[in-house]
């Protein structure tokens, strides 16, 4: 395979960039040159991966840590990310300047997808959560399609009949989730589930008390006003006869929380380091954390806070790999939910059975192969 120039168009979201980075690193390892068109806040991560950073210029600079009130989050995200025309303008000018061989486009960037279609270049769409979300969010997407089609017309393209037609306009769309987890019934022929992509190889976490049940807590790495929920979880864990690890993310400094003697507070711990030994994963049901838990066969207690999390939490319950509680629950209610989950002797066998069932998914090797297949074509 010849060395190719690959251009990724992405944004600083919570769950999208982790699997995209895994693909970038794998393509670089294969000898390809990667340019990454991204928000300024992503520069250091892009460069750490060995790619060349290119800045968006005609869009609002955004970071997943921006403190946007929950009631305003979805309108903001629709206006400034999914349906921001500047992504199309910038991708077009970057293509003209860099002359890439193939495009990778985050499938949440509607105008970038239209610009990619107009370029005529081989294009791979990247979808980082369950594909069923496309149907679930259709009522939010469809009212915004008229301006998208106006933009398409200025580029000489025919109108797209629905939002799904934009998402599925690339040559192939890679879905970074377990196919068995995704409740979508049918997908277009060019939509391919490759499974979750993430960093691996972390050293095992050193347990403080291996004789006790190990409870790992991980909420969003982006801002969701989660400090109160994290504190209630800490309060719930304090009286229990368990060893607990609470990861706070960059939004909530660990030192701002009060925890019991049985609990370790850290900003970050790699999933691959801590989950092999975990007996329960308490999570907001973000896609990346759910994929990590189900991959490692850890029962989940989901406390969804918004976005795609209620849909993912319901799927966890439907598959029998975990339970769903309320993010508004008080500490006593959360403690009861944790106690009940740990007492379920069938929970871990069910979770491990699911992990075995998805262990053969193609992963990053298939994602790379799909990109390189377009290059050969």
pLDDT tens, 250-260?
A: 889 999 999 99
Range picked from 141-155, 188-202, 357-371 for highest mean pLDDT: 141-155
CA distance 364 to 377: 20
CA distance 140 to 77: 11
| CB burial of residue 67 (10 Å; 0-12, 13-18, 19+) | exposed
pLDDT band of residue 221 (cuts 50, 70, 90) is: confident
Contacts of 111 (CB under 8 A, 6+ apart): 83, 84, 85, 86, 87, 88, 89, 91, 148, 151
CA distance 188 to 143: 22
Query: Beta partners for 244?
Result: 215, 263
At residue 362, the pLDDT reads 85
At residue 1, the pLDDT reads 63
At residue 224, the pLDDT reads 87
Contacts of 26 (CB under 8 A, 6+ apart): 364, 365, 367, 368
| CB burial of residue 327 (10 Å; 0-12, 13-18, 19+) | buried
Domains of the chain (ranges plus CATH)?
Answer: 5-195+361-376 (3.40.50.2000), 214-358 (3.40.50.2000)
pLDDT tens, 116-155?
A: 999 999 999 999 999 999 999 999 999 999 999 999 999 9
Query: 13-22, 52-61, 197-206, 313-322: which has the minimum mean pLDDT?
Result: 197-206
76, 82, 85, 90 alpha-carbon torsion, rounded to 10° = 110
Query: Beta partners for 215?
Result: 244, 280
Whole-angstrom CA distances from 143 to 78, 81, 137, 318 are 11, 16, 11, 31
The mean per-residue pLDDT over the stretch 220-243 comes to 94
At residue 83, the pLDDT reads 98
Contact 239, 215 (CB under 8 A): no
Q: What percent of the chain has pLDDT over 90?
A: 89
Contact 281, 218 (CB under 8 A): yes
Strand order in the sheet with 191-193: 52-55, 33-38, 5-9, 102-106, 123-127, 172-175, 191-193
pLDDT tens, 306-329?
A: 889 999 999 999 999 999 999 999
Where are the extended beta strands (E) located within 137-183? 172-175
Residue 198 confidence (pLDDT) above 90:
no
Q: Is the pTM of this model over 0.85?
A: yes
Query: What DSSP designation does 116 have?
Result: H
Helical (H) or strand (E) element with 147: helix 145-154
Contact 55, 38 (CB under 8 A): yes
CA distance 280 to 348: 9
pLDDT tens, 63-76?
A: 888 888 888 989 99
DSSP-assigned letters across all residues of 268-321: ---HHHHGGG-SEEEE---HHHHHHHHHHT--EEE---STTHHHHHHHHHHHTS
Contact 11, 108 (CB under 8 A): yes
CA distance 312 to 287: 7
DSSP-assigned letters across all residues of 9-62: E----SSSHHHHHHHHHHHHHTT-EEEEEE-GGGHHHHHHTTPEEEE--SS---
Average pLDDT, the chain: 95
At residue 168, the pLDDT reads 98
Query: What DSSP designation does 121 have?
Result: -
Query: What DSSP designation does 195 have?
Result: -
CA distance 255 to 357: 40
């Amino acid at each position: 395979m010849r060395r190719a120039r690959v251009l990724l168009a992405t944004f600083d979201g919570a769950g999208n960039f982790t699997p995209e980075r895994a693909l970038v690193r794998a393509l670089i390892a294969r000898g390809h040159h990667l340019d990454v068109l991204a928000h300024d806040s992503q520069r250091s991560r892009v460069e750490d991966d060995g790619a060349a950073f290119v800045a968006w210029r005609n869009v609002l600079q955004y970071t997943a840590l921006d403190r946007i009130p929950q009631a305003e989050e979805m309108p903001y995200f629709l206006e400034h990310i999914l349906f921001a025309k500047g992504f199309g303008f910038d991708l077009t000018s970057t293509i003209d300047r860099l002359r890439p061989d193939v495009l990778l486009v985050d499938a949440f960037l509607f105008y970038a997808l239209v610009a990619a279609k107009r370029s005529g270049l081989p294009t791979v769409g990247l979808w980082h959560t369950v594909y069923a979300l496309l149907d679930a969010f259709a009522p939010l997407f469809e009212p915004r399609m008229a301006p998208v089609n106006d933009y398409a017309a200025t580029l000489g393209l025919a109108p797209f009949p629905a939002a799904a037609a934009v998402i599925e306009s690339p040559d192939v769309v890679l879905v970074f989730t377990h196919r068995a987890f995704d409740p979508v019934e049918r997908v277009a022929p060019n939509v391919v589930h490759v499974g979750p992509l993430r960093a691996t190889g972390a050293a095992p976490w050193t347990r403080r008390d291996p004789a006790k049940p190990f409870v790992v807590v991980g909420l969003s790495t982006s801002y969701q006003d989660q400090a109160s929920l994290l504190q209630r979880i800490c309060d719930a864990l304090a009286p229990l006869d368990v060893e607990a690890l609470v990861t706070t993310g960059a939004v909530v400094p660990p030192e701002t929380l009060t925890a019991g003697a049985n609990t370790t507070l850290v900003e970050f711990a790699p999933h691959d380091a801590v989950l092999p030994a975990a007996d329960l994963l308490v999570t907001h049901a973000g896609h990346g954390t759910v994929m990590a838990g189900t991959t490692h066969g850890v029962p989940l207690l989901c406390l969804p806070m918004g976005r795609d999390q209620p849909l993912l939490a319901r799927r966890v319950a439907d598959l029998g790999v975990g339970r769903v509680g309320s993010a508004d629950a008080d500490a006593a209610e959360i403690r009861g939910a944790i106690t009940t989950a740990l007492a379920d002797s069938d929970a871990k066998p069910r979770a491990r059975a699911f992990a075995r069932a998805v262990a053969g998914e193609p992963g990053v090797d298939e994602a790379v192969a799909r990109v390189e297949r377009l290059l050969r074509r």
